């Protein structure tokens, strides 16, 4: 059994049966049989109906799912409610995309050798999908992996994070209630890393969707059998460039939200803030004042803005990174510990370039502020890490904004918005160490499908 506890106070919530190797084999066999039975593939209209019904059911149970997210994952209830709303929209997005998910005509007759032919492509499901997910969005990440698979027609086996399996289990039950047969969406609940790797690397799996640490993701990719495709979503240390023309009174709130949303446990959370020297002091003063006002505590309380980290060891790690930076001359504003898993939001001023806070993803309620005089120099530092995901620039002048947008090494650059902005239908992808492939529901559907070309030759 796996005991699930509240992230905030470690109080038990539930015990969930753990799957073993025999269970994994049964689930892989069932998914493989479903995939091989082409006559049994659910028709597009059926997949649309299931996803739309699932969205309706989830919307009806919004309050229940939001509380579950807040309890098992520690996300403040207001943000957990937003996550459920996004998940409902994600299911509808996947259903809507089916209407436009199609192949195209390939022109023929362009050469004498291709004359007398008509060619077009169709879309087919790639095969069995293994989805390994993370704790920080325990419902919406599952939707991002499962809904595209259902929409395309791939059987999917989803392994939720051991710390947050309940939202996943309830969503899969909800899909079954909406009419999806069991082999098309199954769960693997385990804290056995070897068993999770066996799922990801089984030759019957055609596509691996992984959301989690770079270390684990790249390891799994190196173990995939020939022909298995994958998408990896890791993290980064998202940079923000604050130009001298930025309106300080307008940018404090979005940067604070981007840095401390879900206690910084977001793969594109604001981490490194580069501020022009002309406004550095004014920005730091206003930003520190806002961060000090953030309400920290029990995530199920409606007033809470910053909740706990997922595990006690994560608070120890983040605290040690802060201590390393301050011992080497950086200055800490705020910070401290509220409970075993809860840290008070902090700001670290000018941590050394080789400090962990400057080099690695902190995944905690900490941001770093650095001053600069030349934007290109700040961009160079921002681009110097081996990972790159989303970035942001704040400026009232179009020239510096576009210059930063063009030069920042990121898959997406937000102008006058924080790095953690995302809609679930936009492409979402890490560069270099930060990931492989493209997320976002329509984009994931493309990755989980294969084109088949059909060529008809005219007789006579």
Quick check: is 185 catalytic?
no
In a domain, 287, yes or no: yes
In a domain, 113, yes or no: yes
355 and 265 assigned to the same domain: yes
pLDDT digits (tens, 9 = 90+) for 402-446: 999 999 999 999 999 999 999 999 899 989 999 999 999 999 999
72 and 171 assigned to the same domain: yes
In a domain, 426, yes or no: no
Mean pLDDT, rounded, for 135-163: 97
Which residue of the set 233, 305, 314, 361 is catalytic?
233
pLDDT exceeds 70 at position 352 = yes
Q: What is the CATH number of the domain that holds 316?
A: 3.40.309.10
Contacts of 147 (CB under 8 A, 6+ apart): 51, 90, 91, 93, 94, 441
Grade residue 458 by pLDDT with cuts at 50, 70 and 90: confident
pLDDT exceeds 80 at position 460 = no
Mean pLDDT, rounded, for 275-292: 97
200 and 131 assigned to the same domain: yes
221 and 260 assigned to the same domain: no
229 and 243 assigned to the same domain: no
Q: 341: how many CB neighbours lie within 10 A of its CB? A: 23
Total number of domains in the chain:
2
322 and 368 assigned to the same domain: yes
Which residue of the set 154, 185, 267, 368 is catalytic?
267
pLDDT exceeds 70 at position 295 = yes
C-alpha span between 184 and 149 (Å, rounded): 9
Q: What is the CATH number of the domain that holds 92?
A: 3.40.605.10
pLDDT exceeds 70 at position 209 = yes
Question: CA neighbours within 13 Å on the CB side: how many for 194?
Answer: 2
Longest CA–CA separation in the chain, Å: 84
As a whole-number percent, the residues of the chain with pLDDT over 70 amount to 100
Contacts of 245 (CB under 8 A, 6+ apart): 395, 396, 397, 400
Q: What is the pLDDT of residue 459?
A: 78
Compute CA distances 364 → 136, 237, 267, 271, 381, whole Å.
11, 11, 11, 9, 21
215 and 299 assigned to the same domain: no
In a domain, 427, yes or no: no
In a domain, 88, yes or no: yes
In a domain, 27, yes or no: yes
* 205, 174 Cβ separation under 8 angstroms: no
329 and 195 assigned to the same domain: no
Quick check: is 233 catalytic?
yes
Arithmetic mean of pLDDT over the chain: 96
In a domain, 423, yes or no: no
Grade residue 219 by pLDDT with cuts at 50, 70 and 90: very high
* 334, 345 Cβ separation under 8 angstroms: yes
Q: What is the pLDDT of residue 386?
A: 94
259 and 151 assigned to the same domain: no
In a domain, 382, yes or no: yes
Show the domain range for 178: 2-234+434-457
279 and 221 assigned to the same domain: no
174 and 30 assigned to the same domain: yes
227 and 243 assigned to the same domain: no
pLDDT exceeds 80 at position 122 = yes
């Amino acid at each position: 059994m796996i005991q699930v506890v509240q992230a905030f106070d470690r109080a038990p919530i539930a015990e969930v049966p753990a799957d073993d190797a025999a269970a994994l084999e049964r689930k892989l066999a069932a998914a493989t049989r479903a995939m091989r039975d082409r006559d049994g593939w659910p028709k597009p209209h059926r997949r649309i109906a299931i996803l739309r019904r699932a969205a309706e059911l989830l919307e009806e149970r919004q309050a229940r799912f939001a509380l579950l997210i807040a309890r098992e994952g520690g996300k403040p209830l207001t943000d957990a409610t937003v996550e459920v709303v996004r998940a409902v929209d994600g299911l509808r997005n996947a259903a809507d995309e089916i209407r436009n998910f199609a192949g195209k005509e390939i022109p023929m007759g362009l050469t004498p050798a291709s004359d007398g032919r008509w060619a077009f492509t169709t879309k087919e499901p790639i095969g069995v999908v293994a989805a390994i997910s993370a704790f920080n969005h325990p419902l919406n990440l599952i939707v991002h992996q499962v809904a595209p698979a259902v929409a395309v027609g791939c059987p999917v086996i989803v392994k939720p994070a051991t710390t947050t399996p309940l939202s996943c289990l309830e969503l899969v039950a909800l899909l079954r209630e909406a009419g999806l047969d069991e082999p098309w969406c199954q769960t693997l609940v385990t804290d056995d890393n070897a068993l999770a790797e066996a799922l990801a690397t089984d030759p019957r799996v055609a596509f691996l969707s992984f959301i989690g640490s770079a270390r684990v993701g790249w390891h799994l990719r190196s173990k995939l059998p020939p022909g298995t495709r994958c998408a990896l979503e890791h993290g980064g240390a998202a940079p923000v460039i604050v130009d001298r023309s930025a309106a300080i009174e307008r940018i404090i709130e979005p940067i604070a939200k981007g840095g401390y949303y879900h206690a910084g446990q977001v793969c594109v959370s604001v981490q490194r803030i580069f501020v022009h020297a002309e406004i550095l002091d004014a920005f730091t003063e206003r930003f520190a004042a806002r961060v000090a006002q953030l309400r920290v505590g029990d995530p199920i309380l409606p007033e809470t803005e910053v909740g706990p980290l997922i595990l006690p060891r994560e608070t120890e790690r983040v605290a040690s990174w802060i201590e390393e930076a301050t011992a080497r001359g950086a200055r800490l504003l705020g910070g401290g510990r509220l409970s075993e898993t809860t840290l008070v939001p902090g700001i670290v001023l000018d941590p050394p370039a080789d400090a962990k806070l400057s080099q690695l993803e902190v995944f905690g309620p900490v941001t770093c502020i650095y001053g600069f005089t030349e934007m290109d120099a700040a961009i160079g530092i921002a681009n110097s890490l081996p990972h790159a995901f989303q970035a942001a620039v704040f400026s009232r002048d179009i020239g510096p904004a576009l210059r930063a947008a063009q030069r920042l090494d990121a898959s997406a650059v937000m102008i006058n918005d924080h790095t953690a902005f995302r809609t679930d239908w936009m492409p979402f992808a890490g560069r270099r160490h930060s990931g492989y492939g493209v997320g976002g529901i329509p984009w994931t559907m493309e990755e989980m499908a294969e084109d088949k070309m059909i060529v008809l030759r005219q007789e006579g």
